[in-house]
Every structure is written in C-alpha cells, then in structure tokens.
Amino acid sequence: MTEKEIFIEQMKMRTKKFAVDIVKFCDSLKKSKATNVISYQIIKSATSTGANYRAVCKARSKKEFFSKLSIVVEEVDESEYWLEIILDAELSNNNETLIVLKNEANELNKILSKARGNTY
C-alpha cells in the first residue's frame, strides 16, 4: 500500500470510529428535552462525517472530490459545535469522554480541512 492509500484507510476507520463513539456517548448523556434534540443532531452530523468520507474516496473527479470533502468538513465541524454545546450546557456526566471526542472532532476538522485546501 502507498502512503496515500494508508492515509485513506486510516481516515475511513477514524471517521467511522468517531461516529460509533458519538452514538455510544449520546446514550450516556443526561436525559432531557435538550439532550434528545442535541443527540439527534450530533448523531446525524457524526455519522454523516464517516459516510460522506467514504463517498469522497469514490469521487469520480477532482471537482466531485472537493465538493464531497467540503461536506465532510462541514459535518465534522457541526459535530464539534454540538460537543461544545454539550460541554458548555453541562449536559454530560462523562466530561472525560466528551473532551476526548471534542479533541478528535477538532483533529479531524484540521486534517480534512487541510486535505481540502490541498485539492486545488
């Protein structure tokens, strides 16, 4: 495998793990109307991050690659936003996991934004 192929596979695994970890984390949130809405939103954005990254890997052109990667960047950024809301509103009993997830969202955001920036 080339370095590029290894990177692609690592990012596929990493974005999928991020989605799974978010789903599990949402089950641990304090139960309230707010967490129901936020859980729904963050699960959508986190799972979309992984699913759309897979679509990026199937892009048929540079333009399609850039477009799909832009969606991934938006979705991971939205996930990071919801994690910030959970933290600031004190909706979690598990701040250790919350911080780990927030850091992972931030790292993914940086990596994917840089990859998008290197497209053109």
Query: Which pLDDT tens digit goes with each residue over 16-37?
Result: 999 999 999 999 999 999 999 9
Instruction: Kindly tell me if the per-residue pLDDT of 118 is higher than 90.
Output: no
Number of domains forming the structure of the chain: 1
- What is the distance between the alpha carbons of residues 64 and 62, in angstroms, rounded to a whole number? 5
pLDDT the model gives residue 120? 66
| CATH number of the domain enclosing 77 | 1.20.1440.60
Domain of residue 71, residue span: 3-117
